Structure 1
Amino acid sequence: MGPGQFGIDIPTCEKFAKAIKEAREAGAEVCLVIGGGNIFRGVAGAAKGMDRAQADSMGMLATVMNALAMQSVLENMDVPTRVLSAIHMEAICEPYIRRRAQRHMEKGRIVIFAAGIGNPFFTTDTGAALRAIEMNCDALLKGTQVDGVYTADPKLDATATRYDDVSYQELLVKDLRVMDSSAVSLMRDNNIPIVVFSLKEEGSLLKVLHGQGTSTTIANKGASSK
């Protein structure tokens, strides 16, 4: 949503698309999972009295809208892209089929996974973790508003310090909340590192892919951070 309070900001999408294009041109196979909080958050809807399952369904539809917007921007930059949705809606995007998604990536296309995992009560984080496992990804990169995992929210606590590396277990025990616990557990059980970095920094995605820049790597204790 960029500088706005709601909706889709195209210049912000273009900034992200440029970073994704650079990553692809550097030789990375990239797939994306995009949230929908700029349009609707299921948890927020449930907190206001909506049925949680119904609210989560609305949130999943919001992710489809964002995925289509990102597809449009990427393709305007001549980057071939496919949107695969966990909820079937063939008129606007492809249904999620694991082997089809892998084939798209093999052909050099950016794959955008929409609608989470297609079920309520699961966050986009869990969706990203599941797709990372299914696509045999080397790492799960989480772009956020801050440049890594901190001991506390740096926006609220001036004494918060950033971790360069942290184990899955420490993240869960200290309840650092960079991702929900089910997503972290999935990554731990499948030994896929999570790299948390800032989307705000110019060129941050490419730096992370080259093991540079500022970020936090979440991995099993003793695993390489880069």
Structure 2
Amino acid sequence: MLPQIGETGQEKLGSARVLIIGLGGLGSPAALYLAAAGIGELHLVDGDQVDISNLQRQVLYKTNHRDKDKAVVAAQQLTATNPEVRVHAHSRMADEAWLSALLSEQNFDVVLDCTDNLNIRHIINRVCRAQKVAVVMASVRGFSGQLVSFDFRSSDSPCYACLFPPAGETTDLPEAENCATVGVIGPALGMIGSAQALEAIKSIVGLPFTSLNQLQLFEAGSLEWRSLGLSQNSTCPVCG
């Protein structure tokens, strides 16, 4: 019924293929809204199992899902929400070689980075740029959220490394500050994860999406949004 989407837009959603990396506090609401919107095919990537401490922010899971693979449980939950969506669970972490192969094999319309690991985020950035796939990235720490999108089908698109250059030495450790170390207010993850789904839907149906090359900063304590425009960095190690 929305004139901005209409039957044509709904058909685009129904034929779209979306990859969600990370099924935690961001990936849970994003996946729920994309499944409910009628995305044709969802691929879910997460190598973790459900823990009781996750439940205050990871709304896909229930207490009876404890110690089960998040990707498998998420696929079951989303199929129950919308049986017409084709859902594929990948119970593993997304390393660079595996992710490159997956994106080469599958024609994804957009990738959602819902992780809390800086090294994986840089891998997603590099692979999506190499494969020319649009990506919506987000993170939340405490009461503060960030959202940014890049459309790598455009040759002059900036990338995540333009904004946050990768460290000289890589490590398998997660970022020093994440949900497990500093805590997070659950509804802030819900808002940012929902915004990721919204931006993905707008990208698929051809509507302008506000986070494209714009770092959106959200403060849950004051309900304030700020926006910072980004441009390609000539010294960027990935796209410069």
Q: TM-score, normalised by structure 2?
A: 0.38
Considering Cα pairs closer than 8 Å and 6+ residues apart, tell me whether 1 or 2 has the greater RCO.
Answer: 2
